[in-house]
């Protein structure tokens, strides 16, 4: 009789532990999305990511343009407030004699928390570079980490 009672208690305890782990996991995932969704926090992170990816492609003598996807909330897909759009547009560059134009666009996967930044060159030759960034939250801040060395496609 004691053996059956112990087994029932162990099964009950195992179920409670599994449920607790699922609740903790789902709450942490929601907190990542909630923090990333915050427009001001997201814009500061995007500015840093855009600068990082532009450093990779050596953007000293080129024009840089942000497309519409670069100016929208990556979670809600709504356009940012005007003040935040102006902050993001500070990343853009216009070099008077340069014929090379790099257009920066983004995509975000909510399931993997990966931000994909695409840079497409038009002007002299065509090039497309894709760089991925893994986003996570630590101490209430969005952190990003470059995922791989990116992919360059020359057309």
- Per residue in 43-87, pLDDT (tens digit) is 999 999 999 888 877 767 788 899 999 999 998 899 999 999 999
Q: Render the burial of 100-115: b for 16+ CB within 10 Å, e for the rest.
A: bbbbbebebeeeebeb
* Per-residue pLDDT reduced to its tens digit, 94-141: 888 877 888 999 999 988 889 999 998 876 667 788 999 998 887 778
């Amino acid at each position: 009789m004691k053996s059956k009672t112990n087994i029932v208690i162990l099964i009950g305890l195992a179920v409670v532990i599994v449920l607790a782990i699922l609740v903790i996991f789902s709450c942490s995932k929601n907190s990542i999305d909630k923090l990333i969704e915050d427009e001001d926090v997201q814009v500061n992170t995007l500015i840093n990511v855009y600068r990082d990816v532009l450093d990779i492609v050596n953007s000293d003598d080129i024009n840089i343009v942000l497309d519409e996807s670069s100016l929208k909330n990556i979670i809600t897909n709504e356009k940012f407030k005007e003040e935040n759009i102006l902050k993001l547009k500070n990343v853009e560059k216009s070099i008077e004699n340069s014929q090379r134009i790099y257009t920066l666009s983004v995509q975000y996967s909510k399931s993997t928390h990966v931000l994909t930044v695409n840079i497409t060159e038009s002007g002299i030759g065509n090039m497309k570079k894709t760089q991925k960034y893994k986003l996570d939250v630590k101490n209430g801040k969005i952190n990003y980490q470059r995922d791989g060395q990116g992919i360059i496609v020359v057309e």
